[in-house]
Structure 1
Amino acid sequence: MDPRPLTHDQLGHLSGAMGRTQGDPADAPWIGASCVLADAGPGSVAAALASLFDRHESLRCDYVPGQVGLPSGVPGQDEPFRRRLLPPLVVEFEEVPLGVHDDASAVHAVIMDWFAAHAGPAAWPHSAFVTLESGDEVTLFAAFDHVTFDGFSMYTFAAEIPLLHRVFAAGDAPDPALALSGSHLEHARDEREFTRSLTVQEPRLRPWRELLDDRGQVPGLPPASGVRRGDQVTHAMVSLPVAAAEESEAFRALCESWGVSYGLGFIALLLRAIAVQEGPAPTTVRTMMSTHGRSRPYRGSVGWFAGVAPLTVDVDPSADLRDSVMAVRSAWTDSAPSGRIPLGVVGDLLGTRVEPGLVVSFMDSRYCPGWSEWASTQARGYLGHVPPSDQAHAWINCLPTGTFLEARHPDTRECASWVSTLAVLMRGSLQSALRGSRVPRSELVPTVPSPRQESAHHADDSSR
């Protein structure tokens, strides 16, 4: 047994999973990724995965029921769950044939079934891996349960696995302790030390109190979405364009001229789009903003670090965009420190269930580890099915090809229309702001390249 405690999110996730006795087994909300591995064989893939597990302690953890009510005197061992940790250099992977299939739908079904069975909170190692061989190309698909993996971990995986595999495929195994990242288990200990001293007088609880409605509950989705608190609806996932790459860069320059990050600028565009659909009058938008939760020692770590902070902003749809951006910056500066308190602890201190309604976030993927290799490795990210609920998550993702609104939302016609309109309104506000700025129009509309220039342009894209 490892004496380091679980994070509050891990405890909540495992307790919730243990309490679910019904539901669709396909509802497995894992986080996954895939990439093409050059010169891959069973031995090189297995060695690369084993090396990944050696590098990250969180991947080598299992969780077993603890001894509640029988204090051991050791932090973390008198709780509902305790962690078991395998030492490095003992995890191995073996090939298990899953068959030969003639079409993509059959392959998809096999992979989804495998992930649902193995990438969950009750099945160690809480992750699953499948290689797909098609001609001379081998693609590795991976899925991880939330107990050990968050969204930023997906980028770490997509960066590390091709590098590790390249070494093993060449027959030159690296030192197993080479460049080990900070451990999520140390982060868990830090978190528990921080939360142990929190009381109801904690100043960082004020933004959480302001998030609650008149009934003392976290509001659900905005009324225009057509989804009401308590609705249990299956979810859909969409990715909608908001800005081309040149427009994204121009918006960055515009926000910098205002003295604000363009990430908050995009969040302001989203909140304005929400307010517009609520009507012409000013609207108080209550949402949560996701955070990667990693302090500097844990920047390259795999684990469940992600958290959320409250974000309450008064939005006037008729106001100048710059004023909206400044309002968001002010609100976020005030509330961001509150994101350090885990959601379960917030609920305990406030005496209410703090259940997310709408969660928003911004990710500039061009600063993620290994992004320059995504084109050559054909890296992709995936999210598993989630149980029916009344929640929605909206990510603004800035990629080398442009900026997109990616949303997982209740799959009703009204809510789907609401999400699509958000993207349209965001793009309209962005273009209007750029037309009124001093950014030269030529920066927004790239010239049509000659065939020779086009070839060079594509070569540059593939090398980034």
Structure 2
Amino acid sequence: MEFTELADYAISPGMLTEWLPEATGTWAQDERPASYIHEAHLRPTADGTHDDGRESWLGAAFRIAGPLDHDAFRRAARTWIDRHEPLRSHAELGADGRISRHTLGPGGVDFDEVRHEYEFDTATVLERVHHLFDELTSPHRWPAYLFVTLEHSDPEAGCTVFFAADHSLIDGLSVVLVAHELTSLYTEAMAGPPALLVPAGSYIDFGADERAAAATVDRRHPAVEVWRQAFLRSKGRLSEFPLDLGPRTVERVPQRAVSEWVLDAAQAVRFNTVCHRAGQNFLAGVLACLAEANTELTGNTVFRTVTPVHTRNDPHWATSLGWFVGLAPIEFDIAGAVDFADVATRAAEAVAATKSAAKVPFARVEEILGTPIRPRFVVSFMDVRFVPMAQQWPEIEARALRSRHYTHDVYIWVNRTPHGVNISARFPETPLATENVLRFLARTRRALADVVPSTPDEDPQASAVGADAYATTGQ
């Protein structure tokens, strides 16, 4: 599934309905704590990057066939909310700095359904949906999520479903599950086959378990040592983007987003074959290509980034809605590397060496080290080929969405899907940053292509990257 901003999604004219959750049950005090990353999201940062929590949402868009049955959609959405407890719970930061939680039981949420009984043009749809998502998904309010449905007749009758939730409720893997789960429940509500969804554990329970485990972590823990060494090697400046982005200003800098399919499905298989013949996995191969781009463009043979790592380490959390993400610093040197296999091996060793870091919430590491962890260059990789309904994503125009952002940082997402590999990125929308990030992405794309044999039966070693690719070339 491609991760893009709402403005890049193909929107048809049509009639909008806003589905605004409202509590119909009784709120009960809930002693379970917020997860570390949720608490960090609620608390303001020294640099003010969290503002009031607005524009920190993730979402999904997808189409369902035929005219929308409003009653069936309401039943499906209510069932989905009952399935995922975080959608019925609210953690609030009080004036005393303490976090309290209140939770509704199953069946405790319904919808205020706001129908616009006239057709909006495309620009108005985009403006309205964007406004709703930006204004109504703050982590400091409940609900921090909503649906919007768009009924359209051009080119054929159908409906687009838009969903957004604050990041505290949802992560990248959660997002790609939304289309399957809601479509299955809607089909069931329309008297179709039962949804048969795999039971989902509650992220609130995960947060409580995480807190209990993190309480035993001290300065001697391997994860703490990984971060300490990362700070020492980087002189306290974690994972800056390797090319010049221009000065970091005090004003909010709007970000630009780009997205591109860099390998089709067959090329991705061949890339994976090369990686496996080198004894490594797909992620190591991707990191190797990023490192090559870094070296060719900067002359620096050391590649450094921070990568998100999922924390769904028990099958109980496999289909849960929540923010199951840890962070790990990655650093490796490709000086003297003789071929792609050598570079991929170094990348894999770096991943293995820091894997333990993601097992401890980075906010807990911050507490122990007394140092904020603020990565400025992040590379994320997800393999979503086996997510239910993944094969149908192009057919139903399913996309993962993210809010606009205003920082000086660079984020790169690499996603392997049944249809190939997509790379998307977000970076400061300034001339210098745009030029240099696009240069870096173009060089990474070329490195990926160089690894892939031109035909399936070609010897992958013929496409391996030679030692001369790592020569110091400057910018």
Normalising by structure 2, we get a TM-score of 0.82
Label 1:22 to 1:10 Cα distance change in 2 as closer, same or farther (>3 A).
closer
In structure 1, which of residues 406, 420, 423 is the aligned counterpart of residue 441 of structure 2? 423
CA distance in 1, matches of 2:374, 2:398: 32
CA distance in 1, matches of 2:195, 2:343: 51
In structure 1, which of residues 143, 147, 158 is the aligned counterpart of residue 168 of structure 2? 147
Identical amino acids, percent of aligned pairs: 27
CA distance in 2, matches of 1:18, 1:5: 23
In structure 1, which of residues 74, 91, 94 is the aligned counterpart of residue 109 of structure 2? 91
1:148, distance to aligned residue in structure 2 (A): 0.9
User: How large is the RMSD of aligned CA atoms in angstroms?
Assistant: 2.9
CA distance in 2, matches of 1:213, 1:201: 16
CA distance in 2, matches of 1:248, 1:172: 34
Label 1:244 to 1:384 Cα distance change in 2 as closer, same or farther (>3 A).
same
> Could you say which structure has the higher strand fraction?
2
2:38 is matched with 10
2:15 is matched with none
Label 1:195 to 1:263 Cα distance change in 2 as closer, same or farther (>3 A).
same
1:372, distance to aligned residue in structure 2 (A): 2.4
2:58 is matched with 31
| Equivalent residues of 2:239, 2:306 under 8 A apart | no
Residue type of the alignment partner of 1:29? S
| 3-state SS in 2 of match to 1:50 | helix
| Equivalent residues of 1:45, 1:165 under 8 A apart | yes
| Equivalent residues of 1:221, 1:227 under 8 A apart | no
| Equivalent residues of 1:222, 1:278 under 8 A apart | no
Label 1:392 to 1:19 Cα distance change in 2 as closer, same or farther (>3 A).
closer
CA distance in 1, matches of 2:290, 2:438: 12
Label 1:366 to 1:300 Cα distance change in 2 as closer, same or farther (>3 A).
same
| Equivalent residues of 1:220, 1:228 under 8 A apart | no
Corresponding pairs, count: 427
CA distance in 1, matches of 2:259, 2:42: 30
Q: Deviations over 1:158-204 (max 9, x none)?
A: 220000001112278879xx743111112111110111011112122
Q: Deviations over 1:292-335 (max 9, x none)?
A: 22122201100111221111111338642211100010010110
1:253, distance to aligned residue in structure 2 (A): 0.8
2:294 is matched with 274
CA distance in 2, matches of 1:277, 1:260: 25
The answer to whether 1:365 aligns with 2:384 is yes
1:82, distance to aligned residue in structure 2 (A): 1.7
Choose 157-166 or 9-18, whichever is displaced more. Answer: 9-18
> Could you say which structure has the higher helix fraction?
1
1:218, distance to aligned residue in structure 2 (A): 3.2
In structure 2, which of residues 288, 303, 307 is the aligned counterpart of residue 289 of structure 1? 307
In structure 1, which of residues 318, 324, 329 is the aligned counterpart of residue 348 of structure 2? 329
| Equivalent residues of 1:288, 1:308 under 8 A apart | yes
| Equivalent residues of 1:30, 1:144 under 8 A apart | yes
Q: Which runs of 5+ in 1 are unaligned?
A: 69-78, 443-464
The answer to whether 1:207 aligns with 2:234 is no
| 3-state SS in 1 of match to 2:294 | helix
Label 1:168 to 1:418 Cα distance change in 2 as closer, same or farther (>3 A).
same
CA distance in 2, matches of 1:317, 1:392: 28
| Structure 1 segment 17-416 matched on structure 2, within 5 A | 28-39=55-66, 40-65=68-93, 80-98=98-116, 100-135=118-153, 136-170=157-191, 179-212=198-231, 216-219=235-238, 221-228=240-247, 232-279=252-299, 281-282=300-301, 284-295=302-313, 296-316=315-335, 319-386=338-405, 388-416=406-434
Choose 338-347 or 429-438, whichever is displaced more. Answer: 429-438
| 3-state SS in 1 of match to 2:320 | coil
Residue type of the alignment partner of 1:324? V
Label 1:319 to 1:16 Cα distance change in 2 as closer, same or farther (>3 A).
farther
CA distance in 2, matches of 1:427, 1:116: 33
| 3-state SS in 1 of match to 2:90 | strand
Residue type of the alignment partner of 1:403? V
| Equivalent residues of 1:221, 1:390 under 8 A apart | no
| Equivalent residues of 1:213, 1:219 under 8 A apart | no
1:245, distance to aligned residue in structure 2 (A): 2.2
CA distance in 1, matches of 2:88, 2:48: 25
| Equivalent residues of 1:396, 1:405 under 8 A apart | yes
CA distance in 2, matches of 1:21, 1:255: 38
| Equivalent residues of 1:159, 1:369 under 8 A apart | yes
| Equivalent residues of 1:11, 1:80 under 8 A apart | no
| 3-state SS in 1 of match to 2:167 | coil
Choose 125-134 or 92-101, whichever is displaced more. Answer: 92-101
Residue type of the alignment partner of 1:57? E
